[in-house]
């Protein structure tokens, strides 16, 4: 049995991120939100593209104000009006100024803008009533970004702010990593679909639905393979199909030590290498992780996660080990690892101290400080009723059997 730290090191080291050449596709900018940039963006445009005014006011030569006396002011002649989007025609000479508006291009010769509020216009002359600072209210060309430098780096997630920058840089087609393909299958003779009539002893397959929603939420593509009975030949066929058609396979059930738990044997018989078969974690001890590097004469790079069948165990192991693995595979450069926060718990948190224990609940804001509120009801791995509304897992390390209300606890935020 591996500790959580050992298991996560093994698992995350096994995952090779997508290839920058072969695992990419091009998308329109309007469809790029949430996608991961596969190649750096280098723009040939400077930002700002040209010196421009940050204010409505008058563009002038700072040196013309050397005669300026406080309380007396100074007159300049207005030689041009420059609205935004217009190319200035004149060069500002000594004693001259141009009427200018926010965002408009600075005329040559001028180096400073005096804001409108510090001026008074009299016909074709402007009276300056307060002296600006040198180069005030001029946004200098390339002061934000210089053409040819890296504008956005590969491996970032494109969000609305990056989309705005790409649009400004006139990148309307973006090279992103393809979406990971994730096969999902549920194993168990007792399972039925939500549409079937429930007979005594049967269980509705909720894992397939939860996992498929999680995969879609991550921007990956689920390949839903349905319920597979605990029969070695049928299961072997289903797993063969899954590994041949997906980057990641997630099964649930069939990884414990019972007579009907075939998953590990089948993985081995298909040439998969088991790297983890149990972890000192609660819930989720039987999590099984394998890698397929080849299958029927083909080179593969397929990770297999055999999650425990209990709905909460399946979810906890997904959040803790599978989700970061999929993020790493998908090409995200930074922050694909699970991120923990330190918060105060509002209830006592208990475990038997033998395995790293995860308790589910809610991060709530109280007096502007986040607190962890334990979900009410049974914290049994088979109880999926009290997992509704949760957004966090509190982590009790091995050896810690109690974290008292008011103390700090490490919490994993979940979607």
The interface mask with ligand AMP, positions 215-254, x = CB under 6 A, is: -------------------------------------xxx
Question: What tokens does 333 get?
Answer: 């450069």
Nearest to 224 by CA among 196, 205, 197: 205
Give the span between the Cα atoms of 105 and 40, in whole angstroms: 30
Binding partner of residue 203 among Mg ion, ligand AMP, none, CB cut-off 5 to 8 Å per kind: ligand AMP
Cβ contact 369:408 at 8 Å: no
**Which range, of 10-18, 61-69, 269-277, 309-317, touches Mg ion by CB under 5 A?**
309-317
Binding partner of residue 331 among ligand AMP, Mg ion, none, CB cut-off 5 to 8 Å per kind: none
Among 57, 188, 311, 331, the residue binding Mg ion under the rule CB under 5 A is: 188
Q: What is the DSSP string of 122-170?
A: ETTEEEE-SPPPTTTTEE-TTSSB-TTSEEE-TTPBP-HHHHHHHHHTT
Of residues 188 and 284, the one with the C-beta less far from Mg ion:
188
Of residues 169 and 246, the one with the C-beta less far from ligand AMP:
246
Binding flag, residue 253, Mg ion (CB under 5 A) = yes
Give the span between the Cα atoms of 177 and 293, in whole angstroms: 21
Binding partner of residue 381 among ligand AMP, Mg ion, none, CB cut-off 5 to 8 Å per kind: none
Give the span between the Cα atoms of 409 and 28, in whole angstroms: 43
Taking the complex as a whole, the smallest distance from the CB of residue 191 to ligand AMP amounts, in Å, to 5
Q: 7 to each of 1, 227, 266, 289, 295, how far by Cα in Å?
A: 9, 28, 21, 9, 25
Question: What tokens does 65 get?
Answer: 């104000």
H/E stretch holding 95 reads: none
Binding partner of residue 357 among Mg ion, ligand AMP, none, CB cut-off 5 to 8 Å per kind: none
The interface mask with ligand AMP, positions 271-310, x = CB under 6 A, is: -------------------------------------xxx
Binding flag, residue 219, Mg ion (CB under 5 A) = no
The site that binds ligand AMP (CB under 6 A) totals a number of residues, namely 18
Give the span between the Cα atoms of 118 and 68, in whole angstroms: 13
Of residues 95 and 382, the one with the C-beta less far from ligand AMP:
382
The number of residues making up the chain comes to 415
Nearest to 310 by CA among 409, 394, 186: 186
**Which range, of 13-21, 26-34, 180-188, 315-323, touches Mg ion by CB under 5 A?**
180-188
3-state secondary structure of 108: strand
Give the span between the Cα atoms of 310 and 281, in whole angstroms: 14
Of residues 205 and 264, the one with the C-beta less far from ligand AMP:
205
Among 96, 186, 330, 345, the residue binding ligand AMP under the rule CB under 6 A is: 186
Give the span between the Cα atoms of 56 and 397, in whole angstroms: 60
Binding partner of residue 252 among Mg ion, ligand AMP, none, CB cut-off 5 to 8 Å per kind: ligand AMP
* Contact set with Mg ion (CB under 5 A): 188, 253-254, 309
Binding site for ligand AMP (CB under 6 A): 186, 188, 190-191, 203, 205-208, 252-254, 256, 258, 308-311
């Amino acid at each position: 049995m591996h500790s959580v730290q050992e298991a996560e090191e093994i698992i995350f080291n096994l995952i090779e991120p997508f290839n920058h050449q072969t695992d990419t596709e091009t998308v329109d900018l309007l469809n790029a939100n949430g996608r991961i940039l596969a190649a750096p963006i280098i723009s040939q445009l400077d930002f700002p593209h040209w010196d421009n005014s940050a204010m409505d006011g008058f563009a002038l030569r700072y040196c013309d104000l050397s005669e300026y006396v406080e309380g007396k002011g100074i007159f300049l002649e207005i030689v041009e009006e420059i609205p935004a989007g217009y190319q200035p025609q004149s060069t500002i000479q000594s004693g001259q100024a141009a009427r200018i508006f926010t965002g408009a291009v600075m005329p040559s010769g001028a180096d400073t803008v005096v804001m409108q509020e510090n001026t008074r216009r009299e016909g074709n002359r402007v009276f300056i009533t307060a002296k600006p600072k040198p180069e005030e209210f001029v946004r200098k060309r390339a002061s934000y970004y210089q053409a040819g430098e890296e504008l956005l780096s590969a491996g970032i997630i494109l969000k609305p702010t990056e989309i705005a920058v790409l649009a400004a840089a006139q990148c309307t087609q973006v090279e992103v990593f393809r979406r990971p393909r994730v096969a999902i299958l549920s194993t168990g003779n007792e399972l039925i679909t939500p549409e079937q009539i429930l007979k005594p002893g049967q269980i509705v397959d909720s894992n397939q639905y939860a996992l498929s929603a999680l995969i879609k939420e991550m921007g990956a593509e689920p390949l839903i393979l349905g319920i597979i009975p605990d029969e070695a030949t049928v299961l072997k066929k289903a797993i063969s199909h899954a590994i041949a058609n997906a980057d990641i396979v997630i099964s649930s059930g069939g990884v414990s030590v019972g007579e009907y738990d075939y998953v590990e044997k089948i993985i081995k018989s298909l040439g998969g290498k088991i790297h983890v078969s149990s972890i000192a974690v609660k819930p989720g001890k039987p999590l099984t992780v394998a890698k397929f590097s080849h299958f029927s004469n083909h080179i593969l790079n397929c990770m297999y996660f055999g999650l425990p069948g209990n709905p909460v165990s399946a979810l906890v192991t997904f959040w803790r080990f599978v989700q970061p693995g999929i993020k790493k595979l998908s090409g995200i450069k930074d922050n694909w690892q699970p991120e923990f926060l330190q918060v105060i718990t509002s209830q006592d948190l208990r475990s038997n101290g033998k395995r790293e224990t995860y308790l589910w609940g809610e991060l709530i804001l109280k007096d502007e400080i986040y607190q962890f509120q334990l979900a009410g009801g049974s914290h049994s791995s088979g109880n999926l009723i009290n997992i509704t509304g949760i957004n966090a897992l509190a982590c009790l390390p091995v050896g810690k059997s109690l974290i008292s209300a008011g103390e700090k606890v490490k919490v994993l935020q979940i979607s």
